[in-house]
Amino acid sequence: MGEKNRQGESVKSAGGWATVARELRSAIDKGRHAPGSRLPSERALSEQFGVSRVTMRRAIAELEGEGLLRVARGSGAYVRADMPVRFQLGDKVRFSKDLTATDANLTRKVFSTREVPADADIAGRLNLQPGESVLEMCVIAYADSLPVSVVMRSCLAARFPGLAQKFGSMGSFTAALKDYGVKDYWRRSTDITARMPTEAEARLLQQSRLAPVLAYAGEDIDADGAIISCQIGCFASERVVVTV
């Protein structure tokens, strides 16, 4: 006997997962699931459509393949949004000015902080000796509740003690850096490339590991030309447009 949806129609006889995918696609097209929103859980959707979780999973996979959904392991399925965030790349990089979005609230949160010995790559970027203590801050940017970028910002720990806490209270690196005598700073260079995300990046960005990211790396300098920090991170390529 075929599986039944809530109206009692036989889903199996009507095409099983294809029928579920069609109904869910229609619901998305009609706006019942807004762009960027997370769908109900697989279990809840299975109960709603009256099908097995295997059938529901196949339907979701179909819509992911069509580009309507993105599935993040451990987080759920999300309706793909248009690219709401535009990043203006220039010699002055400021979150509040360079990231813009229509009808979206842009915020940043410090996900983690730690002091570690600088490896060869970070030491070279910061003009330090390998092994010198650096402060690493993992910062995630959001458009509303949807993460659009994750970056590891590193700086000399001795020069900027407590920077993560100051940023957390002020919500601005520019404002926080002024407490350390850095009145202004500039981006010395930025390298951008496309690649597949690491498992950690995909989890933090709530995206599939099969979707590429725009990876970037750059260094910031103060008015005297001294390097104050380096940033290594990535944008969710489906949610960000980079303008040069």
Both tokens assigned to 24? 């869910």
Q: What is the mean pLDDT of the chain?
A: 84
For residue 148, give the nearest of 233, 231, 76 by alpha carbon. 233
Question: Can you give the residue ranges of every domain in the chain?
Answer: 17-79, 85-243
203 vs 38: CA distance, rounded Å = 15
> How do beta strands 227-236 and 213-222 pair?
antiparallel
| 71 bridge partner residues | 77
The pLDDT tens digits for 49-88 are 999 999 999 999 988 877 678 888 788 898 876 545 667 6
Mean pLDDT of 184-209: 91
The pLDDT tens digits for 211-235 are 899 999 999 999 999 999 999 999 9
Handedness of CA 87, 90, 92, 97 (dihedral sign): negative
Both tokens assigned to 218? 């750059």
- The residues, any chain, with a CB within 8 Å of residue 46's CB and separated by 6 or more, are 52, 53, 55, 56
Handedness of CA 193, 194, 196, 199 (dihedral sign): positive
For residue 20, give the nearest of 50, 44, 43 by alpha carbon. 50
pLDDT at position 5 is 46
| 139 bridge partner residues | 110, 151
Helical (H) or strand (E) element with 220: strand 213-222
User: Domain 17-79 belongs to what topology?
Assistant: Arc Repressor Mutant, subunit A (1.10.10)
| 108 bridge partner residues | 141
For residue 118, give the nearest of 236, 229, 240 by alpha carbon. 229
Contact 54/181 with Cβ under 8 angstroms? Answer: no
- The residues, any chain, with a CB within 8 Å of residue 224's CB and separated by 6 or more, are none
Half-sphere exposure of 14 (CA within 13 A, CB side): 18
How many percent of the chain have pLDDT more than 70? Answer: 83
Band (pLDDT 50/70/90 cuts) for residue 202 is very high
Q: What is the CATH number of domain 85-243?
A: 3.40.1410.10
Helical (H) or strand (E) element with 86: strand 85-88
17-79 and 85-243 share one CATH topology? no
